[in-house]
């Protein structure tokens, strides 16, 4: 009740950043979406001591927000509780964190990362995943999305049905090879 939902103690609520003769509190920035926060923080200008203090911090924050946009999470509000995120959103947040690490030679296993994504965000996610591969990483993606299957280097179609009716490799190869396989439901889907 004292913080009116800011979830900050009294001292933290008094911290303000001054930009364009406006004062912005930490909790007001946290209430923004990833894209809105990136835009706001990109416009921050500091001088003297503040510029020295923020020299490395601001670019790092902007880069992390950029990675979140890259994986289709620009709409998320920064103050949203992690417990309210979908599995796909949580997975994409972890992926955004990995993008910042620039690791090479890593095996990533993703379970339906496109769940809940708009088509344009799926395309951005695919570009991000391709970037991880280009860095020398390996991705194993369990996915049913047509765009993702078509963008794959290699597809393994499991089946012939779901659950206890599956578990066998029905087809394996490039998306074009799967498409030409009459035994594959995925091939029928692709064609």
Residue 113, classified by CB atoms within 10 Å of its CB into exposed (0-12), middle (13-18) or buried (19+), is: buried
Is residue 36 annotated as a catalytic residue, yes or no? no
3-class secondary structure, 26: helix
Whole-angstrom distance, CA of residue 14 vs CA of residue 110: 41
The H-assigned helical ranges of 7-76 are 10-13, 26-30, 34-42, 48-54, 57-70
Given a contact cutoff of 8 angstroms between Cβ atoms, the answer to whether 60 and 37 are in contact is no
Q: Which residues contact 10 (CB under 8 A, 6 or more apart)?
A: 2, 3
Whole-angstrom distance, CA of residue 135 vs CA of residue 88: 23
Which is catalytic among the residues 112, 123, 143, 177?
Answer: 112
Beta bridge partners of 78: none
Whole-angstrom distance, CA of residue 52 vs CA of residue 132: 33
Q: Exposure string (b/e) for 25-35, b if CB count within 10 Å is 16 or more?
A: bebebebbbbb
What are the catalytic residues?
112
């Amino acid at each position: 009740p004292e913080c009116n939902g800011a979830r900050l103690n009294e001292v933290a609520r008094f911290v303000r950043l001054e930009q364009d003769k406006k004062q912005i509190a930490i909790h007001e920035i946290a209430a923004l979406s990833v894209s809105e926060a990136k835009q706001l923080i990109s416009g921050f200008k500091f001088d003297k001591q503040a510029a020295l203090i923020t020299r490395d911090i601001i670019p790092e924050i902007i880069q992390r927000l950029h990675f979140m946009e890259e994986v289709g999470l620009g709409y998320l509000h920064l103050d949203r509780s992690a417990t309210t995120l979908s599995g796909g959103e949580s997975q994409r947040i972890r992926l955004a964190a990995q993008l910042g690490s620039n690791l090479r030679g890593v095996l990533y296993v993703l379970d339906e990362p496109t769940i809940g994504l708009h088509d344009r965000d799926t395309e951005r996610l695919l570009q991000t995943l391709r970037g991880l591969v280009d860095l020398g990483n390996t991705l194993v993606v369990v996915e049913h999305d047509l765009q993702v299957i078509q963008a794959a280097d290699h597809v393994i179609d499991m089946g012939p049905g779901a659950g206890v009716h599956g578990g066998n490799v029905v087809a394996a190869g490039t998306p074009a090879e799967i498409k030409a396989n009459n035994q594959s439901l995925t091939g029928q889907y692709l064609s």
